[in-house]
Structure 1
């Protein structure tokens, strides 16, 4: 939507003598000159792009206790619905809404596009567990507020995402390993799901595209984190037709000269026709490390994937999955996941088998059925466990960026959970 062009076009079209010149005059629109599209507003020198999203979710059922099958480790999670327990104290429900609104103002400069980026993020939530108030609240804040300038070399400063490249580290396949679930997919700088480095903080950054797929960058980040402020981050990455790779190095607390923290994150992905291979490693100066190796093979009707990962806390896990396209409308998926939560403890391992079927009933409606069982050895914190869970899900996407999902989940512990989500993006 270009209001500048719209108003100009309306005025000119009302005068037949100038109608023939419309194409020439509208070509002067600054958004077109900058190659920007979407929902835009333009002035003589600036193009303003507007994007946003609203997301809502609601849960109801009897699930207020979390099942921790083997102590504080990833076996407490599976598919977002195994980790529910019948607490016997009444129904539970939760409601949550979040939204963001992003504005990007761009103008031409002698050094390349000059931008000002502002993103406003807000949320509101309420949780009633065991039929009693458990949590609630909300806030509206700036998620991003920064300026940048440049084309092949971009300089930026303000509140923005970390420059750290954390790609090329997720397992192939439709389901992640237990360890990846625990750290938020892939590998992590430390056991706090990425530490303080993968955040949006005050920072000064410079990124340069050297050509032939090579990019380098450097930044001074985490400038608003108090006494521990100041992280120097360096990144080099490569993206080609068959290989993508990166190396990220972080030195923390540099402003006081202490250099107390140091961490690296690196990964590489190789693509050969129907096959892909990936390896990644994250580590820091405390001795923590987290690594993964994964592979995938795709054929006409099915795909196979596997991964093995481990970390410095004597945990290791493996996952194997398959996806079969029975028809254009029917897809079957299966997976087996294994976790040894402490190699120094006997019989504390966990094993899970999952099956999922998806049926595209119409262009807009997809139905899914999923079930699984997890077994945990007698050496685990809570002893031997065998829990079955199931899910029925319907996703409706009629177009226009709108999507809604309804689901019912239950397990053999007597817990059940009904969910509804809806979202709409615009740009």
Structure 2
């Protein structure tokens, strides 16, 4: 601070001798507005306002023969998970015969680019910082399957030669979309209103403290973004919202909000034969989610309880949920537990969902041990399917630049897929990570899936019908600095599938 004061004093003294330099003092003074508001990075300021600009671009390209994945769906289904059935897929080869040439078409590819920019304008007010946030986002994702001779995402029909071509995936947005547009005011108590990001990122709801510590996680947890019951993009959270949060001190904070007023799922709806993209509007019975949350963050313990009622705007509350979690850290030990519940009676669905998880981790010198367990339960119209899973791992920091991981997981389902049978599946994976340089990291992994779920999935020709399926992967990650990252990865399986992946991204702030 002394050096800065000397520099500013020197510049001010020079400014007294020159009118042109004196005019520049206004710029230096305006920079202090951003400093006083705690905003840094790429900023533009006036006498009273600070404008902060952040953004980024990411690109991912996949190529190979991998789209004909064997569906290992046997988990109790959950409509709020990433996949409706919570499936865990294992890539297998697939092909289609070209009706014109008779050749076998098997190549798949997937190209996705995403760009976003966010502008935050802040100023002081009598109630605390007053902010306006505007965020824009565009995603374009195109996929091809079997050389274009198998239908993919869009609802287009094949041409006279049987060619479906490249499909527009529903991850795509309808051009540049308004991803955020809201105002907020306050410091210890903050009021917010407007368009928030869809899902967890735009919600006051806390659905954290629910990720298992063990390497490769748990089967049920993987289906829900490594958490319990709800994916991070849960469609009933965020969106158009009115929210208030308050810090009560001593690590305790509370919040209440009306979210999902716009009732959109955050993705585009692809269809219409010409790959038209539009917003996907959900069932009107789900519009409006009343959310309440209590958080605690201490030196060694974090915990929360989130609860909400879904679809309150029509005057009928047919669905509600709760999510609780906590993490305790004591020296070299960590313990985490989470439990979530959802009741959905919309349109007489009469469905209930439970998902719980307990995980522990211990670190001893070069070794890290982790053990996790979970249970899931789904009941629809009086018919129930449930199950439990276990996971364990050991990690070792062999040298400063080399680490090893070995992990396994298992899941058993009762009345799998409501079909009256019990099913099991398991996975074991070993990984090595080596820092080749300060900016370049290599990763290799080998693993195997097994169980009667695997055998049933691989029973359809031309697949092997084995009760085990093996895979291996190798990749390079590059982070040269400047918020730029890039990676390449290759994957191959015992079922003849292969996939090459390239990623690159750059953020600015």
Q: Give the TM-score normalised by the residue count of structure 2.
A: 0.76
Q: Partners of 1:195 and 1:136 in 2: how far apart?
A: 23
1:322 CA drift (Å): 1.6
1:67 CA drift (Å): 1.3
Q: 1:333 to 1:397 in 2, by over 3 A?
A: same
Aligned length: 412
Structure 1 stretch displaced more, 225-234 or 149-158:
225-234
- The reply to whether residue 183 of structure 1 matches residue 224 of structure 2 is yes
- 1:6-45 to 2 correspondences below 5 Å: 17=17, 26-28=28-30, 29-45=32-48
**Which one of 246, 250, 254 corresponds to residue 208 of structure 1?**
246
**Which one of 222, 227, 235 corresponds to residue 196 of structure 1?**
235
1:70 CA drift (Å): 4.9
Q: Secondary structure at the match of 2:223?
A: helix
Equivalent in the alignment of 1:96: 112
Equivalent in the alignment of 1:159: 195
Equivalent in the alignment of 1:306: 371
Q: Secondary structure at the match of 2:105?
A: coil
- The reply to whether residue 221 of structure 1 matches residue 233 of structure 2 is no
Q: Partners of 1:339 and 1:83 in 2: how far apart?
A: 19
Equivalent in the alignment of 1:126: 142
- 1:7-406 to 2 correspondences below 5 Å: 17=17, 26-28=28-30, 29-70=32-73, 74=86, 76-77=88-89, 82-87=90-95, 89-132=105-148, 133-136=165-168, 138=172, 139-160=175-196, 161-189=202-230, 195-198=234-237, 200-225=238-263, 226-285=284-343, 286-313=351-378, 314-342=386-414, 348-377=423-452, 381-382=456-457, 385-406=467-488
1:281 CA drift (Å): 0.5
Residue deviations 1:136-156 (CA, integer Å, cap 9, x gap):
264321111100000000000
Q: Secondary structure at the match of 1:180?
A: helix
1:255 CA drift (Å): 2.4
Q: Partners of 1:116 and 1:220 in 2: how far apart?
A: 19
1:174 CA drift (Å): 3.4
Alpha carbons 2:236, 2:310 under 8 Å: kept: no
Alpha carbons 2:455, 2:468 under 8 Å: kept: no
Runs of at least 5 residues in structure 1 that lack an aligned partner in the other structure: 1-7
Q: Secondary structure at the match of 2:438?
A: coil
Q: Partners of 1:75 and 1:144 in 2: how far apart?
A: 31
Q: 1:224 to 1:74 in 2, by over 3 A?
A: closer
1:46 CA drift (Å): 0.9
1:21 CA drift (Å): 11
1:93 CA drift (Å): 1.3
Q: Secondary structure at the match of 2:447?
A: strand
Alpha carbons 1:367, 1:395 under 8 Å: kept: yes
Equivalent in the alignment of 1:4: none
Structure 1 stretch displaced more, 88-97 or 415-424:
88-97
Q: 1:378 to 1:239 in 2, by over 3 A?
A: closer
1:377 CA drift (Å): 1.8
Q: 1:380 to 1:264 in 2, by over 3 A?
A: farther
1:283 CA drift (Å): 0.3
Q: 1:204 to 1:336 in 2, by over 3 A?
A: same
Alpha carbons 1:354, 1:373 under 8 Å: kept: yes
Alpha carbons 1:70, 1:348 under 8 Å: kept: no
Alpha carbons 1:188, 1:194 under 8 Å: kept: no
Alpha carbons 1:60, 1:418 under 8 Å: kept: yes
Q: Partners of 1:208 and 1:378 in 2: how far apart?
A: 48
**Which one of 466, 485, 495 corresponds to residue 413 of structure 1?**
495
Q: Partners of 1:362 and 1:277 in 2: how far apart?
A: 34
Q: Partners of 2:92 and 2:116 in 1: how far apart?
A: 30
Alpha carbons 1:347, 1:377 under 8 Å: kept: no
1:91 CA drift (Å): 1.1
1:324 CA drift (Å): 0.6
Q: Give the TM-score normalised by the residue count of structure 1.
A: 0.89
Q: Partners of 2:146 and 2:495 in 1: how far apart?
A: 16
Q: Secondary structure at the match of 1:131?
A: helix
